[in-house]
Amino acid sequence: MKFRRKDFFKAIALGTISMPFLLRSVLSDTKAQGKSANVSGRTYNWKMVTTWPPNFPILGEACQAYADMVEKMSGGRMNIQVYGGGELVPALECFDTVRSGAAEIGSGAAYYWAGKTPAAQFFASVPFGMNAQQVTAWIYDGGGMELWEELYAKYSLIPMLGGNTGVQMGGWFNKEINTIEDFKGLKMRIPGLGGKVLEKAGGAPVLLAGGEIYTGLERGIIDATEWLGPYHDTQMGFDDIARYYYSPGWHEPGTALEYIFNKEKFESLPPDLQAILRTASYYINNWVMARMEARNAATLAKLKDKGVEIRTFSPEILEQLRKHTNEVIADITAKDAFARKVYESYNDFRQKASAYANITERLFYSSIQAI
């Protein structure tokens, strides 16, 4: 359906212009049906399995907020029972559990599924890649969603965005990182593509579950760790056992979170419930981003008062890590055709978004550096 100028003003009056994508999808759904949305009285009781520990701050809490909003919007016709990681199935079995239909919804981040399909990780986070607003733009309006849906359809899944962490922090260290040589032999908890980059720099990425990191760092099993940002990191107590807090999180500049739906079950829902589940994912995307920003900013202020030494990686270190990132991505895209297709779209969008950011946000931020 073509969106005409008079529709634009009508939409503003109706307050719908803030969600043009949603409007388009609802209109095309009803058009395809040849009738208005079918509101049936049937009640659905669905399960959501998550990769987050039960009630994990913001990311886990968001799943319950999603369920609550869906219940309200549907007038109680869609009830979602949320399970923390390990409560119904182990955290990293979400993908297969939703794929099989044993649960209808899953919550996590696409890089957890890199072992199943390497292309997935480009929908979560890429070192030196796009930030939250850029990756959101690529997925919603730059071709990313179409590729993501195509990839997940192979696994009988439908993906939706479920929030973004924003630019993370670079991690906690007990020694200074002054040159790229300081990464040599460094045992660091850093998952995903970031871990592969650390390996290229001579470091040793260590896989540790969230609950093991504090003890690992305290006992010297690892020398350093990354996690999220000030709000989550201080709840883990890293500020008590590590001396330096480095920035920026070059490895996760804007990690997108996801909801995954069993495709057959989602498509069997009446169109109004499908639209509610999609609308609620927009709501949660914003819900998560707002909380990450607000609470990280508030906690950073407290960290400075506490005397934590906040350091930044030098431009030379970042340049070396960026080179290693290109090598890691070249390895992945050489081996997997779909990963190559996704990365081409990602990179094409990133270049345009960076050129735009260079004359807008970069200049803006440099003008307020003194604050």
- Least separation, in Å, of the C-beta of 229 and Ca ion? 9
Measured from the CB atom, the residue of 61 and 149 that comes closer to Ca ion is 61
Q: Is the Cα torsion angle 105, 107, 110, 111 positive or negative in sign? A: negative
- Least separation, in Å, of the C-beta of 237 and Ca ion? 16
DSSP state of 179: S
For the chain, how are helix, strand and coil distributed in percent, rounded to 5? 55, 15, 30
- Least separation, in Å, of the C-beta of 168 and Ca ion? 5
Residue type present at position 125:
S
Measured from the CB atom, the residue of 142 and 254 that comes closer to Ca ion is 254
For Cα atoms 90, 96, 102, give the angle at the middle one, nearest 5 degrees.
85
Do residues 260 and 98 lie in contact, with contact meaning Cβ atoms separated by under 8 Å?
A: yes
Measured from the CB atom, the residue of 252 and 258 that comes closer to Ca ion is 252
- Least separation, in Å, of the C-beta of 252 and Ca ion? 5
Kindly state the helix (H) or strand (E) to which residue 296 belongs, with its residue range: helix 271-306
Label residues 124-147 b or e (16+ Cβ within 10 Å = b).
Answer: bbbbbbbbbebbbbbbeebebbeb
Measured from the CB atom, the residue of 142 and 195 that comes closer to Ca ion is 195
Q: In angstroms, what CA-CA distances link 212 with 46, 49, 174, 180, 198?
A: 32, 22, 18, 27, 20
The SS3 assignment for 130 reads coil
- Least separation, in Å, of the C-beta of 238 and Ca ion? 12
For residue 249, how far is the Cα from the chain centroid? 14
Measured from the CB atom, the residue of 223 and 252 that comes closer to Ca ion is 252
Measured from the CB atom, the residue of 104 and 226 that comes closer to Ca ion is 226
Contact residues toward Ca ion (CB under 5 A) are 168, 226, 252
- Least separation, in Å, of the C-beta of 213 and Ca ion? 11
